[in-house]
Structure 1
Amino acid sequence: MASPRLPAAVRAPFEGRTWRGLGYVLLGLPLSVLFFSLSIAFFSAGAGLLITFLGIPVLAGTLAMCRGFGAVERARARGLLGLDVRAPEPVRGRTGGALSWMGAMLKSGASWRHLLYALLHLPWAVLSFSLALALWTWGWGLFTYPLWQWVFPMYAGQAGLQLYGDGTHDIYLDSGFEIAFTSLVGLLFVLAGPWVLRGLVAVDRLMVSGLLGPSRLASRVSELESDRGVVVDTAAADLRRIERDLHDGAQARLVSLAMDLGLAKEKLAHDPLAAAVMVDEAHGEVKLALQELRDLARGIHPAVLTDRGLDAALSAVSARCTVPVTVTVELPARPAAAIEGIAYFTVSELLQNVSKHARARQAWVDVWRSGDRLMLQVRDDGVGGAAPAEGRGLAGLTERLDAVDGVLAVDSPAGGPTTVTAELPWRA
């Protein structure tokens, strides 16, 4: 293994990445010849048979074969280049029959992209194979020329490697200077070869990821399905939290209140003073139950947010923080209601983190619009050290924002300060 202290240009010819890339390029030509030959032959046959019904199954089978070629190429790229490209969605017919499958295959854009890859990759494979093999053989051959130059006078009957000969004049690389210069030229080829090879492989990476992976639409659908799962899980967790708060808080208090009022009713006839005391205590319990219900309703969706917007709602939530909070909201209009709610609860949870963990003396909340994005920033002068991977609250916020194409960025070095920036779509 090359020493990491050597310059990158010196290490490159000996690195495993370089040799794996060379193996990828050299293996690519025979595979491309095979893929191209089979694809063009069967596609031509299917296109020619389209005047009959036989052309449809032949074309569908050709596209299925090309998808198989794509699986081989993705595995080769994963093993030799470290490029992990997801397979496109499998083709399924609506009814499950052969005709339905053939129709779905012919309508599949991913299948046609696999065929395009099989046709386009051959000329590129010829170029990259020829260039890589020439650089590698000439480079290492010339570089090691001093080691095998003795073969020519001993077995070939000539002084050295022949550069020119016309029957009258012959030029051989046989002097010490010529041999050393030849080795130096070979060294330059050896050092340049890995970088040329990486450029060639970069094009292969683009072709594999662009033609053999899922389309952007399919990726977006998959992402939205994943986000929908996150939203459903979050909503279920919120419902369980509300149910738990109702059961353990207001409901338990109201049950106790009903029992106390029942006892007061029984004592009213023979001990009115004791009944009055119990009614007074029940009155206090009613106030506490109402406050708990107000807090619970505020946790679901505060009325001030609906009535007066983010400025007033964030000012109200910052007033409950244990440290002084400066709130600055500069919005030309109100965003979509759902986005407004997410922004409110994001700032609310971040301020709760400031109260519980930051040990800060002051905090700041800034809200503004940038293009079609709603920007939120919560800063504090606390001890820092916050990270989504370590804190469950920040990790949950990240998932919630991801579900609506939002972004959460945390800058919290040890010792502080902490700056958390959230970006949400406006969607007004």
Structure 2
Amino acid sequence: MRSPQPDAGGRLSRSSTSRPGFLGTDAWRQMLHALISLPIAFVGFVLIVVTVSISTVLSLTVVGALLIIPTFALTRLLTRIERARARRLLGLDVSEPRRARPAGAPWRRVRIRWQDRQSWRDVGFLLLHLPLALLSFLAAVSLVYFFVRGASYPFQAAGDPSYYEKAWGGPTYLGAVAVHSSPALIVLISGPAILRAVTGLQARAIRTLIGSRPYSTADHRLDARRVTTVDTR
């Protein structure tokens, strides 16, 4: 079975050989990705807010300037984890973005890291990832809740007329079951599409902010300026 491939916008498209809905593995992988995204995104958000804030406030001092290097190293590690998760669970075809390769004295490395736009794109992604992960997590938890609630209702109501006689669909057992079990059926039908939508937002953010991108004219100019700076020193 081939992994799902993203379209031009970064969303996921189901492979023609995949089984539909929850009969295949794609929906379960997306479910797992949505459930574990929130704790990972929360940890990354807190770490980045704290480290970037400290580095920015102390940027005019020696300590603050040198903190830029480990701060951006942390962002690279966190975004590398996100790309690996997206490749494994979402089947996203995304590779390491192009980055500046600083060398030389510490101050020169700090300046190049500070001017590297990809480093700030990493920071932007880690800030944006938290609300996207929260949306995915809430969607996944809601799907699980409504499915369990609907699927368990027939067993809860069986043999207990007081449980379903005054419930919606009552007073008959079959009527109450038809009404209260319908959320489980709705989840089975629409759940995979909801998971594809919410994880597709995360996939788009990954491809746009921390995925590989074309080498632009601005990149050429920036590299030329860096080479000129190095040669003149």
TM more than 0.5: yes
Corresponding residue for 2:163? 160
CA deviation after TM superposition for structure 1 residue 14, in Å: 2.2
Corresponding residue for 1:88? 97
The answer to whether 1:23 aligns with 2:32 is: yes
The answer to whether 1:117 aligns with 2:125 is: yes
* Residue aligned with 1:217, SS: coil
CA separation in 1, counterparts of 2:156 and 2:65?
Answer: 59
Cα 1:57–1:78 change in 2 (3 A) is same
Corresponding residue for 1:108? 116
Higher Rg of the two aligned structures: 1
CA contact (8 A) 1:21 1:198 kept: yes
CA deviation after TM superposition for structure 1 residue 215, in Å: 3.5
Corresponding residue for 2:187? 189
Cα 1:113–1:196 change in 2 (3 A) is same
CA deviation after TM superposition for structure 1 residue 149, in Å: 4.0
**Aligned 1:148-227 pairs, distance under 5 A:** 148-150=156-158, 159-160=162-163, 171=167, 175-217=173-215
CA separation in 2, counterparts of 1:204 and 1:220?
Answer: 27
Among candidates 40, 61, 68, match of residue 70 of structure 2: 61
Cα 1:60–1:185 change in 2 (3 A) is same
Corresponding residue for 1:126? 134
Structure with greater helix share of residues: 2
Cα 1:91–1:148 change in 2 (3 A) is farther
CA deviation after TM superposition for structure 1 residue 58, in Å: 1.8
CA separation in 1, counterparts of 2:37 and 2:180?
Answer: 31
The amino acid across from 1:81 in the alignment is L
Cα 1:34–1:201 change in 2 (3 A) is same
CA contact (8 A) 1:140 1:190 kept: no
CA contact (8 A) 2:164 2:176 kept: no
CA contact (8 A) 1:143 1:190 kept: no
The amino acid across from 2:196 in the alignment is R
* Residue aligned with 1:34, SS: helix
CA separation in 2, counterparts of 1:91 and 1:30?
Answer: 30
What is the number of residues matched between the two proteins?
202
CA deviation after TM superposition for structure 1 residue 115, in Å: 0.5
The amino acid across from 1:179 in the alignment is V
The two structures, once aligned, show a CA RMSD in angstroms of 3.1
* Residue aligned with 1:160, SS: helix
CA contact (8 A) 1:21 1:197 kept: yes
CA separation in 2, counterparts of 1:16 and 1:137?
Answer: 20
* Residue aligned with 1:75, SS: helix
Unaligned residue ranges in structure 1 (runs of 5+): 1-7, 163-169, 223-428
CA contact (8 A) 2:164 2:173 kept: no
**Aligned 1:169-318 pairs, distance under 5 A:** 171=167, 175-217=173-215
CA deviation after TM superposition for structure 1 residue 187, in Å: 0.2
CA separation in 2, counterparts of 1:98 and 1:149?
Answer: 70
CA separation in 1, counterparts of 2:189 and 2:148?
Answer: 10
Q: 1:204-260 deviations in whole A, cap 9, x for unaligned? A: 1111111112332269989xxxxxxxxxxxxxxxxxxxxxxxxxxxxxxxxxxxxxx
